[in-house]
Each structure stands twice: as C-alpha cells, then as structure tokens.
Structure 1
Amino acid sequence: MSCERNGAILCWITLFLSHWTRAQISFSVSEEADKGTVVGNLAKSLNLNVRDLQSRNLNIASLYSKKYFEVNFKTGDLIVNERIDREELCPNTMKCSLNVEAILSNPVVLHRIEVVITDLNDNAPEFVETSHFLNISELSPTGEHFLLPLAIDADTGSNSVKTYRLSPNEYFSLDVNSGEEHSVSAELVLLKALDREKQAVIKLVLTAVDGGKPPKTGSLEMDVHVLDANDNTPSFSKNLYKARVNENVPAGTFVIQLGATDLDEGDNGRVTYSFVKRANFDPSKMFLINADSGEIVVQGNLDYEAQNAYEVHIKATDHGPLPRSTNGKLLVEVVDVNDNAPEIVVTSLMNPVKEDAEIGSVVALVTVTDKDGGKNGQTQSKLTGSLPFKITSNYKNYYSLIVDGALDREACSVYNITITAADEGTPKLTSTAVVAVHISDVNDNAPRFSDPVINIYVKENSPVGARIYTMTAVDPDISDNARVKFSIKRDPNSIRVTSLVNINSETGDIVTLQTFNYEELKTFQFQVQATDFGVPPLSSNVTVNVLILDENDNTPTILPPYSEHGSVNSETISYSAEVGQIVAKIRAVDADSGYNALLSYHLSDPKGNNLFRIVTSSGEIKTKRRMSDSDLKTHPLVVLVSDSGEPSLTATVSIEVVVVESAGDMKTPFSHAPVKKENFSVLNLYLLIAIVAVSVIFLLSLITLIAVRCHRTDGGFGKYGAPMITTHPDGSWSYSKATQQYDVCFSSDTLKSDVVVFPAPFPPVDAELISINGGDTFTRTQTLPNKEKPKVPGGDWRYSASLRAGGVMQSSVHMEESSVMQGAQGVLVQNWPTASSAADAEGGEVSPPMGAGVDSNSWHFRYGPGGPGAPPQHLKPGEVPPEAFIIPGSPAIISIRQNQGGEDDKSDFITFGKKEEAKKKKKKKKEKKDKKDKGKDDGDE
C-alpha cells in the first residue's frame, strides 16, 4: 500500500496489531535498478517461513508517492517495483535511504525497513559557464594561483567530481584542492612568467573528472588574457574565513569583516572586494559585501532547513591600470533555530473500534516529523485528557495509538483523541492533531426491566383475550442488539401458566386465555424473559405476580339448621319472655372475600318489626318488648341476609316463632330456643361445683393409689371396676360398675385433663400417661420407667370454634376415633368410641344442633371401630366398650348422679338434658345438695 505525501489522500489500513518490535532491518540497492531486482530476503530477515508471509498478510507501507518495493511471496524476497532515481529523491545529500514498514497480521507485528539507495555514476560533471576568461598580468610571478570555475556533478560520494585536468601547455598547471569537508576545487598555477608580446591570449581546456568506474568528464574552454603593468596582487589575511550566523536573522545582520592588502601604491594598491559567482550559487542573493571595507552582512532569508552552510568566494582586486586580484574563501555556517513545529501524520488502521477490543489493540499509526535539527528536531508525543487510549513509541518519531482501557459504546460512542507533539528545542514548539475514533456496538447489555417484581391485578370474570399488562424492557445497545422479544419462561414445577395467559413476543402485551374465578384461583406467578437479537443473545427475567380481584358473584349461604333440606324453621318462646331474649340465631357465609363477604342481617317482614328485632352484625333475633294479650301466637319472620358488595346480593330464610304459655311447653334446652341468661348462669355455677368435686375425688384417688402402690409388694395397682356405659332407646345414657377389673393410671395434670382408664393387665411402670387438654389433643404427661410403652390412640379430640362472616361462631366437639390402645404385655386391643361433628357422613359421631350457636346442648352418638363406618368388635349398637371410659374435657353440659347402692347394681347415670323428666330429677338433687353445701360452695366460688 502507498500513501501520497504533502496533502495527498492517505490509505486506511485496517489491521489488528498485538505486538510491535523496534528492530530495524537494513537493505541496500543501487539506483536505477531494474524492476524485479532483489533487495534482500525479507522472510529470512524476519525469521519467518515463506508460507507464513501470505497467510499472515504481509503488507509494505510507506509515505512515498510511489510504491518502490514489493514482496515476492514465493521466495520471500523484497524486490524493486519502481524506478529509483537517487538524485530525485535525495538531492544534495550524501546518504539516501527509503524507510518503509513491513506489517504482519495474526498476530500483528511491525518492522521498520531502511533501504539505502547506492549511487550510480549516471551523471557527468558539468560547468555552469560555457567559457571562462582570465586576465593575468605579465608581471605575475610564477607560482601565482588563479581560481578556476567549479564543476558540479549530481552524483555523490565517489561518483562526484574527484579531480580536474588541464590541457597541456607550458605556462600553467593545476592545483587541485580536495578538501575533506567541501567539494574539490582547482586553481590555475603560473609556471613561468608571461610575455604578452609573445602570446597575448592563451587558450586552455579545463576538464573535471568524477570518481566513477569508468569515470565521466566535463570540459570548459578558458581564455587567458595577459595583462601588462601592475605587478603586485592583493592578498587576504586568511586563506579561509569562517563565520556563524543564526537562521532567520533580519537583513543587515553583520556576518564578518574581510581584509586584503596590496603592496602597490595608488590605485594599484587600492583594493575592491566582490563576490565570485560559482556554479549555480550567487552569494549576492544571500549576502551583501561592502566593496571598499570588505564587510559582509545578511541580505536574504537564511533557512537552516534549506541549507545549513554557504561557501562564499570573494575576490579582492586592485585599481591599477592592469588590475590584479586575489581570491578568498568564506564558510558561513547557519545556526539552527527552533522555528519549526512538529508535524503529525496519522494513518488509521482500525476505525471503528469494537467496544470489546482488547487492551493493547492498535488503532492507528502516528508519524511525527520536525524539520529542525539536533534537539530541535527530536520530538515527544502524548495524548491530552483521560481517555482509554495511549500512545507508545515504536522507533524514533514513529508511534502507535493503542487501546489502554475498557471501551463502552453506551457511555461514549466517539472519542476525539487529541495528540500533542512537542520538540526538545528552546523554546519548545508543539502541534496537535485530533483523531476521531468511533466505537462500534457489541451485544454486551442484557434487556433490563424497570422492576424486579411486577404485580398485575385482574378482576375475576374478566373476558378471555383481555390485555392485562404490557411488558417493557430497555436495552442500551443499538440496532438488533437492542431489539427485544418477550416470552413466558416455563417452569415444570408450577402450574401451566401458558394455559392461563399468553404474551405477545413483539409488543409485550399479556392477555388472558381463560376467565378467572377468585374462589378457585386467587393468585399465580410466572416469569417473563426478555431476549435481545444480538449474537450471542442476552436475556433477563422478571417475576410476574397475577392477583385475582374478587367480585361480588356469590350470594350468601344460610348455614344449618335453617338451611337443612326438609326442615321446618320454627322456634318457640315463652309468653313471659323478657325484653332482649334471644329467639334464634341466623348464621350465613359468603364465598366471596372482603366487603363482598361482609354480611348483615335484616328482618324484611314488617309484621314482626314491632315484637322482634335482629342484630345486624350477628344475626341474633331478640325480643323488642314483652308479650301482650293482643299479640299473635304465631309470628312468621323473613330474615334477609345481604352482603356488602356492589351490587349487593341477598339470601332469605323464613322462621316461624310460636308463643307458648309456660316454659315447660317450650322445646328442650337442646332445641333452637336459648336458655335465659339468669338460668344459664346458675347452671354454669352448678357445673363448676360438679367439676371441682370430681377433680378433688380424682386427686384423692390418685394420692391413695400412689400410697397403695408404694406399700404393695407385688408391684401392681389396685383393682378397680370401670363403669359400663349403656345407651337407651330414648336417647339417655346410663353406666354401672362392671365386674371386670381395671388398672387406673392418673397423670400429674389430672385437675385440668381428662381421665383415661386402661384395661386391667396394664403394667404398673413405663407407661405413658395421656391427657386431653381442653378437649383439643392428646399429650404425653408422664413416662413410667419401663422399656415398653403403650401406644396411645392415633386420633385427636378437638374442640374447634371458627368465626364466620357476620360474627357467627360455630362450635363442635370432635372426638376422633383412636385406632389402638394396647398394654405393655400384649393385652387385648380395644377400640375407642368415636364422636364427631354432624358434618361427618360416616363413622361414629356426636353433634350438637346447628342453630343455637354455643348454647346448643343436643347430641347424637354413633360408634365405630378402628376405621370409620364399621361396627365395634363384640358390641351392640348403642353400647360403649366397658374396657375404656373417657370423660372428655369438653364444653358440653354434663350432669352426674352418683348411686352408692353397690350390691343392688343400680347404675350411675350420665344424663344429657334431652328429656324434661330427667332434667327435673337432676335439678331437685342439685337443690338439695346446694342447700347442704352452701357455705362450701361460696368459698370455692
């Protein structure tokens, strides 16, 4: 590749350079060499295989207008490509060389090659003058020297003018001066005195001979005119004068004062000074000489870069009738001044530069030149500002611009790099050049979402295909590297989100694929992936939470007992009912949530508004006033249950309230009618007394058993009979003492727990005592020190209370069946009775009526074996296994009557208040006992 100099268009070389060498390779070739002449073997000089030259893309770069050299890739030789004229390239210089750059790729290596152009003797010496005249006095003494014209030769070195020859004659000879510093000159020497009368004009031929082989010559014809008279010649005080003057000095600056003397008198002794024009140099253009005084001053513009020295010849001539003259020499040395700023030439190799370019990648070559000499021509280059680039020196004034840091197109896409070059002169001169380096994009940025988590709120029952959200992601790259597509990231462990929603890959619109139901699906989560079109593609994820918003699309549901199929919703109330007495309690639920499930209760029948009212929040129907004789005996009420949604949805239930004359005609306490608050409080007091009494009895029994156990020698517990529980067709229960003996174990938490009675062969030690705390779950309270432990029932007894919408409380006693109760010595496995809520469809159950809330005291019992739905082993329907008797710690109302009959085998009864007669008997017994233990009860309370 070649480049044009001084304003021509530079070539753009795109190479990746990873290493630079500062070694210089030198070759030499003769000028005028034929095209194809081998300069040298470049492959050998670079220590490369010839095959590697082409594979590594060897290029020869230079700043000359012609491509003088090229490489033969077959032989590895550097050959001549253009005619080389040394005199054209390097005029007036002793050494001529061409500097080119050899650039290799993969990896990139730069070598500087200097080709020295050797001179051929292709130019003959020439004289500027076509003829020359000399006036020599006949009085001139022998040995006098006369300066002859100077021949010029475009060749240099040994091919330049080496000597002069004079045609044969009897009067003159040549004195050739071959000085070391300057050109060869010749002077005519007078061998014998002249005689004008004998020969007035002497014709001579001066021949200049160069040092070539064969040598070339140039001739000049000279006429010597013999003058008569003035026989003394002026003479200079020095054979060679020297002077130094700075370049660029103004005109009139003093250079030197010459001095010449003539021994003659008068005009023959008066000397006049003048310049002698030699060849193509006229000293009068640069200097001015005072003809009378010999003072020389500057007249022209001295430029060190154009010519650093001047050889000036001066002639001193007297004023005699036959003037005589002498020649002197003045060497004027021009002193360099730092008057040239460095020149910067940038050859771009890689533009634009990729933003992921490695540190050390070469961007451009920088050449700095300074026309000054010495230190004034030595330069240093640097970059201005803080940039991810730096400039390094390759060889002398050759530099490389390389990457010195991480590039980021998103931060800066164009770098305007300012290169500053300064010389080492005094004062320093600087110059700058601005290089625009463009950064090309690389896909180094993944798309970014604005938030790490996106929450989308969607109303239930929204139409299919509705756009619920538009995803957006930003990629700071450009073009395809910034174009983003969206997709839903599949997760095999989660629900199939693709069946619920879909996303438009181009626009990011998320649309629904089905209608959502809040009651079935409240929320789901998936991830959206944004991927750009770069190579390789980059992606990022965002978590999307879809939250279904509830709508009021479910009507309130009335809970049992008023919602039971085929049931008659009727309630009774005593004629003497007080104001505020609870008649019934309506409970309802709503499948919606929030305000859509917030229920309120209203009486919609205006006929009942004057006697009854309903609590809006709880659904309790109460009396507004006392009964009067004018009131109807039957009051139909319609209860309207409304939610708080928009629009509000409602449900209705009809209740018929019947007024009875006395409390005895009312339904049992387990019916829908509630117990009065005053009676209910007295009953609680009685129950508290009974529970405390039973707990004291159990505690005393436990202490007695422990005492007996400590004094027994056989290591067994005392034998106690466990009661047999029997059900009757009328729904009541009774129990009697059985003849079978049982071991009784008590826990340390007897006062607040249930009592479990195990069968007789139960071991005295290493047994786990199990209590049912608050009717909730079994807990182990004590471990006796035996290796083998009994297994406790596998189920749990639960008392659950859940607060429904509208403030309704639903209560149940749930006793799950225990699978096995086994003794340590392999006793018979017994099944436990099962008691569960009325909601159970199989197995044993006990359930309170669902209408009166926590005031309900009506129970139904069924029994089951180890699994739900099967009858117990060796039991009849309605019987309780005699092997285990459990008094659960539940909130049920239990009355206990103890019979001390013993032998008459009268049964003790556990009576649930289902028959009015049993209730009256129990009440009479308690009244008697209360009167007897009144003082004690007050203290306990």
Structure 2
Amino acid sequence: MAAAARRSRGGAVALGLPLLLLLGVSSGRTAGGPLRYSVREELPHGAFVGNVASDLGVDPRRLAERGARLTSGSGRQYLELELGRGALLVRERMDREVLCELSPTCFLSLELVIEQPIEVHNVEVEVLDINDNAPRFPRQDYRLEISESAVPGARFHIESAQDPDVGTNSVQSYQLSPSHHFALDLKGFQSGSKLLELVLQQPLDREQSALLQLVLTAVDGGDPPRSGTAQISVRVVDTNDNPPAFDRSTYTVNLLENSPPGTLVVKLNASDPDEGSNGDVIYSFGSYTPQKVRQLFRVDPHSGEVRVNGTLDYEEASSYEIYVQATDQGPVSMVGHCKVLVNIVDANDNVPEVVLTSLYSPVPEDAKPGTVVALMSVTDQDSGLNKQVSLRIPPGLPFMLNSFKNSYTLITQGNLDREKAAAYNITVTATDSGSPPLSSQKVIHVVISDINDNPPLFEEPVYSVYIPENNPLGVLLCTIKATDPDVAENAYISYSLLDGEIEGLPAASFVTIKSDSGDMYAVKSFDYETLREFHVVVQAQDAGIPSLSSTVTVYIYVVDVNDHAPEILYPTSTNTSAALEMIPRSAHAGYLVTKIIAIDGDSGQNAWLFYYMMQTSDPGLFRIELHTGEIRTTRKLREEGTPTFNLTVEVRDNGEPPMSSSVAITVAVVDRVSKIIPDTRRHIRSPSNYSEITLYLIIALCSISFVFLFTIIGLTVIKCYRYSLYGDSCCTGFCGVRERCPAELYKQANNNIDARLPHGLKVQPHFIEVRGNGSLTKTYCYKACLTAGSGSDTFMFYNTCGPTGTVPSAVVTERHLTGQSGQSAQNLIILKNDSITPNEPKHPNPDWRYSASLRAGMQSAVHMEEAGILRGGPGGPDQQWPTVSSATP
C-alpha cells in the first residue's frame, strides 16, 4: 500500500480529498520492529495515516474488544486510532516546523496498547515536510556602507534567508538584481554557512553614484517554489577601506558542561590594518545569533573574550553556534564576521598533561624542513581509552608533530620567514580517547632568528618635493625614509645619492642627503625662471652581509615666488618727464585715452596684473579698467577746461606680497580734430573708400618726385630684374617686367611671409621690403601699427592681393608683432621712396602725436584671455587699422 501511494503522488491534486489523504501517508513494518508510517504535515483532521490492524495481522473487530488504545509520550495527541477499521488517523493538524524545528527528520513516537492479553507495539510516524513556508530574511532592509576605495573582489557579508522547511523545500538558490558593481558569491551558502557574500566587481565612485539599491531574492526548491526578498542599500563613502579580519573564520571550542559562569570559551582576535579609530575594533554578537545563545554566553567588546554567562546542559544542547562580528570605529564602520562553534562535552575528571622535555630556540629562518624544534611527552592519570592521548597543533603553522609511543617531536614544515612571524606561540593540544574526550593545551614559544633576506623598502614609491625659489642654502627639502623588515645590522640603513647629472652638472651640486637620517638638503638656491624641476635617485643600503639595497626617485619642483615687479612696456616715462597722450576736446564719455601694456616675469597668479589710478589732477574725468589697463574718460570735456591732465598709473601683480610699477602720463587736450590720427574705427574696406585729400596727396607727391624720376626708373629696372630671377609667374607690373604676386612671395619666403596689399593697388617689386616675425616670445604678443606719428607721410593697407593698379611713390608701412604660439607670424609690407624732394610736405607740428585710439590697439598677452587682435568696432580685425595720415602744412 505504501509503495502504491508513493507511485501515485503525482496525480493526487486532481483526485479529490479522499485520495489526497491516502497519498499523503505511507506505512511499513520491519520484522520484529515498530510500526512505521509517514504522513505529510498540515493534513486535516481524519486524514488516513495507516491501517494498524492490517499491519499487525489483527482483526479490526478484535481491537475494540481488546481495548486497543494509543499513547503518546509528548503529552499531546496528534493521531488517533479508529477501532472500527483499525485505521490510524490524524487527530490534530500537525506543523512539522513546530514539532521538530530545523531537524532533517521528524518522528512522532506512539505506543499501541492492546489488552487481553496485553500487547505493546511501538508506532513511529514520520511527519513529512511540505513547502508551506517562504524564505524570509532576518531583516527586510540591509544597509551597507562601503568605501569608494574598496578594490574589486572585496566581500561583504549578508545574512542568509531562513526557511523553516527542510530538504528541497528549504532555500536552494539566491538571486541578485542586475548590478554592474556587485555579484553574489554562494560558495559559503553551498557549504552550509549562514552568511552570503556580496562581491564587489567594479570600483565604486561616490561622486558618480552615492547610493546603490539592490534586491536579494531567496528561492526554495518547493513545487511551486516560494521566494523572499530583502532590500540592500549600499552607501558609498570616502573613508576607511579595511574591515576587521579574524584569525580564522570558524573557531571550534570544546567546553565542559559543568563549566561555571565566567569560564573563558575562546579569545577572539580581529585585526584591522587601518590606523587610529579606523583600526579600533569592538566585538559584539552578530544579528543572526539566537537570543538563547546570547543568554548563555557573553562577548567582551574590547578584548574579544567569549565567556560562559549561564548554565550549560549537554542533554539540552550538545553544541552552540555563536556568530560574532568585529566593528571598527572609523567614520564609516566596517564589519568582520566569524563563527564560534562550541561543543559541549560530558564531565571528565582528568585531563592529559603535556611535558616539554627539550626546546631548540631560536630557530634560524633558513632552517631546512624537518629540523627538530621541541621534544615533548604526554601523560594522563586516567586509564584505558581515556589514557590514550593524541597531540595536535593548529593548522596553518610551518610546524608538524611526529609521534613515537608517548613522545612527540615538533619539527619544521616548509620554509620559515621571520619577517612574517618573528615568533610562534604554538598551542599543543593533547586529547585523550575517552568518551567524551578531554583535552589540555600547552603553549610553546618558538623564536625565529633573522638573516639578511630583505632589501630596504621605501615608504613611498616616488617622492615629490616642492620648494619655493630663492631658498636659503642648506634648507631641508624632505626626509627619505626606508624600512627593512630585518633586525639588528641587517636593518641598519644608510642613504646616498646615485651619480647623475642635472643640466650638465652633478646631482650632488644641487642637493645632498644625510646618510644616517635620509634628510635631503638644498646645496644651492634655486631660481624658478632658470630651473623649474629636476630629479635625483636615492639609494638605501642595509649593513647586512652581503648588503642589499633599493633606490627611489625624488622629484624636486621649484615653486615660483613673486620676485619680479611688473614691467610697463607702453607708455613709458622717465624720472624727469612723463609720457604724453593727447585727446580731442570733443572726446565723449568712454573715449579711449590710452592702454597700459605691462608684463611680469613671474608665472601663475604672481603674473596676474591689475591696473590702478593712483593720482589724477581731475579725479572725476578719467577711469582705468582693472584688468585691461584701458584709460577712458568718464564724461565729456568742458569747453574751457584745463589743457593738460597729470595721471599716475600703478600696475600691481597678484603675488604675496604684491609688487608694482608706476608710470606718469600727461594727457593733453587738442582743439583741432584734424591733428589727430584717425580713429581705428575708420576702416579700409576697398580703394573706392579713400578720401579725396588722400588722392590729392598722392598726386602731389608724385609731381614733386618727378625730378628724381630717372633715378627711380633706374633703381626700378635693377630690382625688377632681380625679382625676375625667382620665376616667371603671376603678376605684371612696371617697366614691362614680370613680378611675383604675394602668393609666390609667400612660397619663396623662408619664414612663412605673407605680403598683402589692397585690391587695385599695383606696386613695383623693388619698392617692397618683406620682413619676418617680431622678436617677442610666444608668451607675450603685441600687435602695433606705426603711422604718421613718425613725422612722415604714411599709407597703410591691410588687404589681400587683388586686381592690379598703380600708386605713386609713397611710404606705405604696416608692422605687426605677433607671437609664435601655433600660427604663422604676421608680416611687414613696407613701400617707401628712396629719397624725398625738397617740395615734400612739411613735418607735422610739434604737438603732433599718435592718436589715442591707435595706441590703444596695442594688446598685451600676459593674460591669455586678453590675447588677440586690436580692440575696435564690430567691423573685425581687418577693418581696424588707420587708413591715411598726413602732416599738416
């Protein structure tokens, strides 16, 4: 019947309750043994378990006559006997998890008593588990705080889910929500551990994601399966990257059942490589430790000692699992876990005793495997099996025991390393063969002697030193520190500089190092503008025989200090005279008077320049831009005002303390606008825009120069002939000689020269002088144009090569000074007469000067954000140059 019931379990649901009750049980009886039945939990009242009468071979009608009855030792009757059929039925719904908790098997023991004559039959009913409980985590929300410095592979413990069911109905698998940073390691779960491990897969970055949300799902093996979830919140922090770690993950301790309260169970030791509060460890029970275990044991939070706190009873429980966690005291604490398995043993009155006969200590760390360290004997006052004693030492030690009757030798196993362990406290445990066995321990202290097998190790892989320039001689730069895990003379370290050169000079002429302390000093005073950085190699050598050494590179960076005052390039003044600037009396508010151009030999913020108006004869008339140095009017000039104004401008850098320079400027008010060089806002757009007066001036100059025509023609022919030697392309010019267009001149030039003339202007080659770049460095760039202020008639054109045309002999000058930072230099195009006739226009009046708007076009490039073309109107850089200037007659 039991076999048939088992074969038909797959279709039980569809057959209704009677068949379900039949399929939920099985029975059997071994010869001469008790009656055995099995029944699933949670069956209702009256469910069939088995036919006792049939299994005993008794007529069911005789059971009632003989007063058959069932008795239970537990006091609670879950089953009953139906005398009419001799059937064993369910009397009360059974919950296997209440009856047997987590035991893999659950039996109800009954006695069937039949009188006349009296017969007693043992009945064992196995309560089978069904999947009536879903996995459940101890907590629904786990909050983890993980340092962003945690390396991939770091593990974090998560308490596993609990399922009161057993077998396949218990927790079978775990699932973690998809995550780029974490994965779930189930090795511990598969080996029966109560803890899961969350493994970091990728480094965390708190700045990108400060909080990670994960969902952990536990699934049992029932049909259908049940599951439970827990939320895992991971907060990424910046600190404390090492959790406490126990010496072992599992501690096994045997404890007598009559141990009084206060008995030391085990002394736990968790180490944290962090320093300060991050390395201070506090011990406590793990959250998975049952409340009953907390009542029987206590954990010292500071020493890690686990002691007995209550009365132990071997008959009540033969072992206890204590989950202990070690928490550091960092700003974001980290936790380490271990399990202490306490085995309770019955009383025994004599323990084995270990006697140390001989000890070889210290042992050289290069001792060969098999070297005898200690000789021991063991005695036990008991007899028989209790007298037979075996010795053992903790695993993981480079030692092993060899036995010979009652004597034991402790020998080396593998290689010793004094730097990893300078001494060993070897706990030798003696255990007899009694039931239960008794044990005793003896600690043997073995010292390992040193040999020189480790080179010095620097505290830093690379040293970086920052020293302000102009340092005094002998100033301490840094202290190089190296350590040697060896001891005595093997760990004595001396420091020296390796031979090397810095800018062609020995490294020792720059720095020196003390051999005993590693202090590095400057031998000379450094200048940031001359030498900004260099490096030396330091060697650390121990005093062992033979000696070992290591090297490290030290980089010395010279830091700039504010040792250069700003240098004013324009305008300039002397102790006896001030710079002269002129503005028209009709100047409006915001009129650009001039621009202060200054540079600073320092770098960084020491080279940031600020401009201040220190003195002025009319405080309300002028203002200066703090960052650009532009001096502008704040209002319109009065008709009858002061003809001159005296200004004092100070240029101050941003160093600490700041340095400054000043310039005195005299601003003269000019009545006639015609004496002012045209404003840069007047642009040359095409030859058709030239004024009539300019054309008249050109004709006049050509007429006056007629006397020298033959001389000019001769020079022209010679120069045209020279230019014709370069090729035969492009432009036609004077004298029927082929001349090169600016594009060809550009190709023939050695310095990226580009000659550009206005459209419609034809110039003979011998009038062109092409010059290359200016002399300023790429750091400081200026762009200035010299025009009629030099006292001669000047035409300046800024355009590309266009249609051919003619122009009278004149002086055409365009000068550009630019930097070399990533672009070709601007070029000079100078068209000039070889001589001037006596009928040339007069020189300008003595009060003639450059216009303020033109001088303001010179731009300082000390601040990179100000570097660029001349300031001007919205027409762009190609439209901001003066067009025509002439002297007054």
Please indicate the TM-score interval, normalised by the length of the shorter structure: 0.3 to 0.5
Instruction: Select the structure of larger CA radius of gyration.
Output: 1
Q: TM-score, normalised by structure 2?
A: 0.40
